[in-house]
Amino acid sequence: MVHSVADVDRLMDGVATHVFKPLRLWQFYVIDVEAALASVGDAWDATATEQLDVEDCDTLVKLSGDARTEWQRTYMLGDRAHAMGTRFGRTIDAGRTAAMLRALSSDGTKDGALAQLRALLDLLNLAYYREYDADVATAQKNIGERVKYERLDNGSWKFGKPIDDDYKIVDPLFTTVDTREDVNDDRRHLANNGWIWGGNPLDNFAGAQSKAYLLREVIVWGDCVKLNYGTQPADNPWLWEHMRQYTLGMARAFHGFRIDNCHSTPIELAEYLLDEARRTNPNLYVIAELFTGSESTDRVFVQRLGINSLIREAMQAWDAHEMSRLAHRHGGRPIGSLALDCLGEPGFFTDDAHGGTRINGIVAPLSGSLPHAMFFDCTHDNETPAQKRTMEDALPNTAIVAMTACASGSTRGYDELYPRLLNVVHEHRQYAALDDPLKVGLGAAKAKINRLHREIAAFQEVHVHHESDYVTVHRVHPVTREGVLMVAHCAFHGASETA
């Protein structure tokens, strides 16, 4: 059991001594000096030895210090990016190195040249050892912080659990699968999918140049693996076609898709598959879980993928003021704004796709807007109101969501007032069959709130006001000026009990 930060610190001392040290991971970073000396020595003895051209000779003579060392590093290793796939995988070009040494050698002897090379390789390896030290320190820090969260935070599924095969110190980065074929063992170990806190969603963290797994930056999901798509169908033809056929089947069967963790899906793949799906179902409704932390990055995904709605979570609000901000952000246009209804005027456009047909209509200015939201009172990832706020806040929370002029959503268990989040990976119990859902928890109230949400769909103007523990939302029809006013008394921890 892990009971304190001191326990975690002792645990990490053991990890450093008994895990990282025996792995000798530094061998994936550095140049094997002895092997490099042997290969260059053989190249020196070869009859057809390469020669340094005049331009390179002039450059080498002019440079000194760090600039010369960097030039030599690039000349010997080339410009190719280093992928840490094998131990001592960072190698030099023996022929080019021998040619460079001949140009630099003061006495022209092989022994003198190799001694000079040894000193140069030790200097280059110094930077690689420093890179290794920094990476190991980062990996150990990330492991330690993860253990602290999982073992010492009351909201974690490993809290209070022993360290054993069911509740490992850290979640495994790989899943080993059984195969029907006799394949190399390395091909049976598949990287688990996951996400990176604060990572760049446009980077492929499973790519050859990524060290995200090595640094333990990936918060893995143990129930699915990350497939190696590349960036185009030619990179893995079978996999792209297999997933294309699967996507077409889903597009024929369902009205819409929810893209889970959209920011961890290669954008080229998502773009391709959604294009294929819309050929089968042009009206496909696509919602996406997209937490990039950047509105500009969100726009990249929305524009390229044609996302209809982005999932937004009311349970992310930490107080009534933040709840009012979310309601305002997703609520609709301000009351009294000069909307398209007011600025439109009779006009026409030419439909070039149908022989230049003139089509009359109302022409209005094109105005920018935030990506449309699907606002959830609670998702399957969120802690319940009883955990994060109070049980009483379940009603005002869902009412505020319903009063916004966007799509709304919820999760099973919210209306029944489940006291705790059900872990979708580790929960094996089945939901209870309800004889009458309207008689359980918020059932009756939620039905009326959802009915109101549909009835005021055309009430696109909104005003949101916050005062102490209260949030008021006023929805108004832009033409008839009819309106609906809701006053919600939020019940965050510490909220007043009197209305």
Mean pLDDT across 413-430: 86
Q: Which has more pLDDT, 350 or 48?
A: 350
Q: Has residue 355 got a pLDDT over 80?
A: no
Q: What is the per-residue pLDDT for 370? A: 79
Q: What is the per-residue pLDDT for 238? A: 95
Tokens of 307: 């996302």
> DSSP string of 384-443?
PHHHHS-GGGHHHHHHHHHTSSSEEE--TTTTTT-SS---TTT--PPPPPPS-GGGSTTH
**Do residues 205 and 219 lie in contact, with contact meaning Cβ atoms separated by under 8 Å?**
no
Q: What is the per-residue pLDDT for 183? A: 66
Annotated active-site residue in 7, 56, 171, 260? 260
Q: Is 474 a catalytic residue?
A: no
Tokens of 50: 């390469």
Annotated active-site residue in 32, 263, 298, 393? 263
- The helix/strand/coil state of 361 is strand
Q: What is the per-residue pLDDT for 477? A: 92
Beta strands in 235-335 (DSSP E): 256-259, 285-288, 309-313, 333-334
Q: Has residue 374 got a pLDDT over 70?
A: yes
Q: Has residue 250 got a pLDDT over 90?
A: yes
Burial (0-12, 13-18, 19+ Cβ within 10 Å), 436: exposed
Q: Has residue 498 got a pLDDT over 80?
A: no
The pLDDT tens digits of the residues spanning 82-122 come to 878 889 989 999 988 888 888 887 777 888 889 989 999 99
CA 201/CA 266 separation, integer angstroms: 9
* No. of helices (H) and no. of strands (E), the chain: 15, 14
Contacts of 446 (CB under 8 A, 6+ apart): 398, 410, 415
Mean pLDDT across 382-402: 94
Mean pLDDT across 322-330: 93
CA 441/CA 183 separation, integer angstroms: 54
Annotated active-site residue in 56, 171, 319, 381? 381
The pLDDT tens digits of the residues spanning 447-480 come to 999 999 999 999 999 999 999 999 999 999 988 8
How wide is the angle at C-alpha 103 spanned by C-alphas 98 and 105, nearest 5°? Answer: 85
The pLDDT tens digits of the residues spanning 153-210 come to 877 878 888 888 888 888 889 888 877 666 666 677 888 888 888 777 777 787 777 8
Q: Has residue 362 got a pLDDT over 70?
A: yes
Q: What is the per-residue pLDDT for 353? A: 76
Q: Which has more pLDDT, 79 or 303?
A: 303
CA 20/CA 6 separation, integer angstroms: 20
CA 8/CA 158 separation, integer angstroms: 14
For tokens 């359980």, the residue is 440
The pLDDT tens digits of the residues spanning 252-275 come to 999 999 998 887 788 899 999 999
Mean pLDDT across 65-93: 87
Of 9, 1, 4, 3, which is closest to residue 143 (Cα–Cα)?
9
The pLDDT tens digits of the residues spanning 36-59 come to 999 999 888 875 666 777 788 888
Q: What is the per-residue pLDDT for 123? A: 93
Mean residue pLDDT of the chain comes to 88
> What is the C-alpha end-to-end distance of the chain, expressed in Å?
46
Q: Which has more pLDDT, 259 or 294?
A: 259
Q: Is 260 a catalytic residue?
A: yes
Using a CB cutoff of 8 Å and minimum separation of 24, what contacts does 289-292 make? 289/258, 289/259, 289/260, 289/261, 289/262, 290/201, 290/262, 290/263, 291/263, 292/201, 292/263
> DSSP string of 15-60?
HIIIIIHHHTGGGGTS--HHHHHHHHHHHHHSSS-----HHHHHHH
Q: What is the per-residue pLDDT for 486? A: 94
Longest dimension (CA), the chain: 96
Q: Whats the size of the chain, residue-wise? A: 499
Q: Is 381 a catalytic residue?
A: yes
Q: Has residue 283 got a pLDDT over 70?
A: yes
Q: Has residue 231 got a pLDDT over 80?
A: yes
CA 116/CA 56 separation, integer angstroms: 19
**Do residues 340 and 365 lie in contact, with contact meaning Cβ atoms separated by under 8 Å?**
yes
Q: What is the per-residue pLDDT for 432? A: 86
% of the chain beyond a pLDDT of 90:
49
Q: What is the per-residue pLDDT for 49? A: 63
Mean pLDDT across 405-416: 93
Q: Has residue 329 got a pLDDT over 60?
A: yes
Confidence of residue 341 (pLDDT cuts 50, 70, 90): low
Q: Which has more pLDDT, 138 or 55?
A: 138
